[in-house]
Amino acid sequence: MKSFTVLEGLVAPMDRANVDTDMIIPKQFLKSIKRSGFGPNLFDEMRYLDEGQPGEDCSKRPLNPDFPLNQPRYHGATVLLARENFGCGSSREHAPWALEDYGFRCIIAPSFADIFYNNCFKNGILPVVLPAATVEQLFTALYAQEGYRLEIDLAAQEVRTPAGEVLGFEVDVARKQCLLKGLDDIGVTLESAARIHTFENQWREQSPWLFNVIGKGQG
C-alpha cells in the first residue's frame, strides 16, 4: 500500500451530502475482477452525459460540463472536499479504488460512513473529518479562489490553508501508523499468528459446533 505522509495538492469540490458508493462508482463497473482502472468511471453518472459501460473508452464520451471535475480549474486535484456522510451505502472497495485511481489521496468532510472510512485507509487514502462549519469555510474559500490548494500533514494531524490557518484533526493511532508507513495489514496480523492459534484452539474447545461443519466431505 502507498504510504501517506504530507500531501500538498489542488482541491476539488463534491458539494452535496450523503454521496453514496453507487454515485462514486456505479454498479455496472463492479463486475471487473481487477482492482485498478476504475478512475475513468469515478462519479460516472454525474460526470458523463451518456450511460457508461464497463471496458468502454471514456475519452470519447460526452462530458457533463456542470460537473466540477470536468472543469479545467479542478484538473489534477488530489484533495476532495465533501459534505456529511460521504461514502454511505455499500461496502464496495471499488469506491476508494476509483477515487485513488483518479488521483485523490485525501477526502475532507464533516463525516464519513463507517465502512467507506475504513476502506480508505486500506488504499492509501486519508479521510479527514473537520467540523461542518470549518468545511463550510473551506468550500467558500475554494469557490472564491481558482487553484485553491491545501496541505495535509498526517504525522502532525493538521490541514494547513493558504491563509496560514492550521486545522487539527483526529485519527486513531493504529490507522495512522499503518498509513504513515504504508504497511501491509495482513503481514502485521500474521506476526500474531501464535496468538491467533492459541485463541482458536481455546475457542474450538469451548464452541466445537463452530468448527469443521462446512468443508469437503461434511455438511
Partner 1 sequence: MAGLTLYDKLWRNHLVEQREDGSALIYIDRHLIHEVTSPQAFEGLRLAGRKPWRLDANLAVPDHNVPTSREERAGGIAGIRDQVSRLQVQTLDDNCRDFDIVEIPINDVRQGIVHVVGPEQGATLPGMTIVCGDSHTSTHGALGALAHGIGTSEVEHVLATQCLIQQKMKNLLVRVDGALPAGVTAKDVALAIIGRIGTAGGTGYAIEFAGEVIRGLSMEGRMTLCNMSIEAGARMGMIAVDQTTLDYVKGRTYAPSGALWDAAQAAWADLHSDADAVFDKVVTLRGDDIVPQVTWGNSPEMVLPVDGHVPDPHGMDNSTQRSAAQRAIEYMGLTPGMAITDIHLDRVFIGSCTNSRIEDLRAAAAVVRGRQVASSIKQALVVPGSGQVKAQAEAEGLHEIFLAAGMEWREPGCSMCLAMNADKLGAGEHCASTSNRNFEGRQGIGGRTHLVSPAMAAAAAIAGHFVDVRTLQESTQ
**CA 185 to chain centroid:** 17
Alpha-carbon span 147 to 11, nearest angstrom:
8
From the CB of 108, what's the least distance to partner 1, in Å?
Answer: 15
Is 158 an interacting residue with respect to partner 1 (CB under 8 A)? Answer: no
∠ CA 38-116-159, rounded to 5°: 95
Sequential DSSP letters for 41-68? GTTHHHHBSS---TT--GGGSPB-TTSG
Distance of closest approach, residue 35 Cβ to partner 1, in angstroms: 4
> Of 5, 71, 91, 140, which one interacts with partner 1 (CB under 8 A)?
91
Measured between alpha carbons, how far is 95 from 101 in angstroms, rounded to an integer? 10
What residue type is 85 in one-letter code? N
Under 8 Å CB-to-CB from 14, ≥6 apart: which residues?
A: 43, 68, 80, 81, 82, 83, 86
Cell triple for residue 27?
454498479
Of 6, 156, 166, 196, the residue at the interface with partner 1 (CB under 8 A) is 196
Least Å distance, CB 76 to partner 1, is: 27
Candidates 60-68, 71-79, 155-163, 169-177: pick the segment binding partner 1 (CB under 8 A). 169-177
Among 62, 72, 186, 205, binds partner 1 (CB under 8 A): 186
Binding mask 92-131 for partner 1 (x = CB under 8 A): xx--x--------------xxxxx--xx--xx--------
Q: Which residues contact 155 (CB under 8 A, 6 or more apart)?
A: 5, 6, 180
Interface positions with partner 1 (CB under 8 A): 16-18, 20, 22-23, 26-28, 30-35, 45, 51, 54-55, 83-85, 88-93, 96, 111-115, 118-119, 122-123, 172-175, 177, 185-186, 188-190, 192-193, 195-196, 199-200, 203, 206-216, 218-219
